[in-house]
Amino acid sequence: MAIMTEFNPAQDGWAFQNWGEDGAYCIGSCDFSWELYRETYLGINPSHDCMAAPLDCAFYEIFKSCAKQGNCGGLSTLALALFKYGGYMGFCSPASFYKGRKNPPDWRCTDREDLHRAINIMQARQFSAHGIENFLDVVGAGYLNNADVAFQRAKELLGKGDYPLLSIATDTFGDAAHTVIPFKVEENPPGYPPGTRIMHIWDSNHPYDQAPAHYQGSGPGTAFHMVIRGPTDWSYRSGTTDYPSPTPDGWCFIVPMSVVLGKARQPMALDMVFDALMTAFVTGPGAAVEQVSDDQRHRLYTSAGEHVLRSDLETDPGRRLDGVARWPWLAQNEQGELPGELYFMRRSLGEANLEFTVRGSRYKVMTVTAGNLLEVEVESARPSADAIRVSGLTTAERLVEVRPLERARAVTLRQLRAGVEGAEWRSVEVRNARLGREGLVLRAPGDLEAVEVHGAGKAVRFDLELAQRREGQVQRRSLGRLSTVRQGAFRVEPRDWRDLEKGEIRTG
């Protein structure tokens, strides 16, 4: 394929429409299977065995939501791969060769299960470690909603043959997020005011076979033109959705095809220590992250409360929390609710600790980096706020602290470390701890050579369990109901992790 060949919507776009995995257009099972997960990312455990691969299982819970609302990213990425290489994943160019089911008034979804699954895989590769790092780079540079930068980047990538994907959205987290192909760019096009730039868009919501009129015309009002008048002054219409013009709250950024096309690591993989990539996932009915901050009082949001607008993000360079970004969308359920809030962070070993302020009555916070997993589960009868502080996740001084800010809570803390010497993983779990505002700290230095549970100001009772997986077998040791002291730590020292059932355990 010649590098200067132009993408033709009539030929190189799919002949069927974007669909969501909501059951109406599924082929076979609607679920994202573990086998599909393995085909999407490198190094995934052969079986869905959470004892053997706890970090793979942790990210699988996020992965399963990747295509609930639509497969626009997968359709766009695979279409570009066929266009560039003439074939990919066993499918050949042109994409329009593959027909879908005709179901008036819609044409939705391919009628081939193998192509359906290939598009699912491409959709989920947006969540690869490379895709997340590109997203963090965009956010860190301040280009999340900068159409001028997106135009120049698209122009550059089209010239290099590393074709661009364009991610756009309206002004809310998760609302109308969409991925399209900018296949041609123009500066000062005829009929438009001076200084205008346009990107010609192929849109999976408008297959050419179904809507040829969408791709016709040449002047103002042309449907497939994204019109750019300034960094945040841009507009595009996809179906009934008007993408913002002008607004500071939407997003508009470019993803190079090469970043998300190939099979790569998932962001919770063991070797992500070299990238200092952290993932935090907060789930629970009605749970919301009110703030993310560090010890220097840098913050992610300008105020407390539930955040639905991008204008809630702190932009003051002196107060902004760098290297932390909320993923802009996850699939909504039938009630329009998101299954959780997903955050990605790039933190070097020497950087400050992070504190999450979370409100809810029952929720779970999962934080993972480089083989280290921290889980916090909180439960009470009424919603209230808690401060959850994590530090040293990639060091030998891992620590998690929970402080109820308003009322007493039932809390469970868990630390797991994968890939330790002599074992596949080790974990410590503190359960059924009833906390007042003084809070509780769980510290597990090194490869869990010791476990310390600190109370602050009053004794806290809890259950404690140690576990490890070694040579394919899981060993557990419950130490029963224990208690901190008023001003100090409860300390456990497993003398021999190689045989947890028989090993001597010293407490004090």
CA neighbours closer than 13 Å in the CB half-sphere of residue 270: 14
Residue 2 reports pLDDT greater than 90: no
Q: Comparing C-alpha atoms, which of 472, 433, 478, 477 is closest to residue 455? A: 433
**How far apart are alpha carbons 444 and 396 in whole angstroms?**
8
Contact 38, 25 (CB under 8 A): no
* The residue count for the chain: 508
DSSP state letter for 300: S
Tell me the average pLDDT across 166-175.
76
Backbone angles phi, psi at 388, to 5 degrees: -120, 115
């760098």: which residue's tokens? Answer: 322
Contact 488, 459 (CB under 8 A): no
Tell me the average pLDDT across 23-49.
84
What is the helix (H) or strand (E) element at residue 10, kind and residue range?
helix 9-12
For residue 290, the model assigns a pLDDT of 95
Tell me the average pLDDT across 149-171.
93
**How far apart are alpha carbons 349 and 265 in whole angstroms?**
21
Query: pLDDT higher for 3 or 376?
Result: 376
Q: Of the segments 58-67, 101-110, 174-183, 410-419, which one has the largest average pLDDT value?
A: 410-419
Which neighbouring-strand residues pair with 187? 197
pLDDT band at 149 (very low <50, low <70, confident <90, very high): very high
For residue 504, the model assigns a pLDDT of 47
C-alpha distances out from residue 149 to 156, 161, 196, 237, 328, Å: 11, 18, 14, 20, 19
Q: Which 3 state secondary structure label does DSSP give 408?
A: coil
Q: 423-466, pLDDT tens digit by residue?
A: 789 899 999 999 988 889 998 888 887 888 888 767 888 998 98
Mean pLDDT value across the chain? 85
**How far apart are alpha carbons 400 and 231 in whole angstroms?**
41
Residue 276 reports pLDDT greater than 90: no
For residue 454, the model assigns a pLDDT of 85
Q: Pairing state of beta strands 87-88 and 91-92?
A: antiparallel
Contact 221, 237 (CB under 8 A): no
Contact 436, 468 (CB under 8 A): no
For residue 497, the model assigns a pLDDT of 63
For CA atoms 88, 92, 97, 99, give the dihedral sign.
negative
**How far apart are alpha carbons 103 and 108 in whole angstroms?**
7
Residue 246 reports pLDDT greater than 60: no
Q: How many CB atoms lie within 10 A of CB 218?
A: 9
Q: 297-353, pLDDT tens digit by residue?
A: 999 999 988 887 777 889 898 999 998 988 876 555 555 556 688 899 887 755 658
Tell me the average pLDDT across 219-232.
93
Tell me the average pLDDT across 177-192.
95
CA neighbours closer than 13 Å in the CB half-sphere of residue 267: 31
Rg (CA), the chain: 25
**How far apart are alpha carbons 328 and 167 in whole angstroms?**
10
Q: What share of the chain is helix, strand, coil (3-state, %, to 5)?
A: 20, 40, 45
Contact 121, 88 (CB under 8 A): no
Residue 477 reports pLDDT greater than 90: no
Which residue ranges make up each domain of the chain? 9-260, 270-507
* DSSP string over 337-363: --SEEEEEEE--TTSPPEEEEEEEEEE
Q: Quick one: tokens of 481?
A: 């109901």
Q: 111-127, pLDDT tens digit by residue?
A: 888 999 999 999 999 88
The gap from C-alpha 136 to its chain's centroid, in whole angstroms, comes to: 11
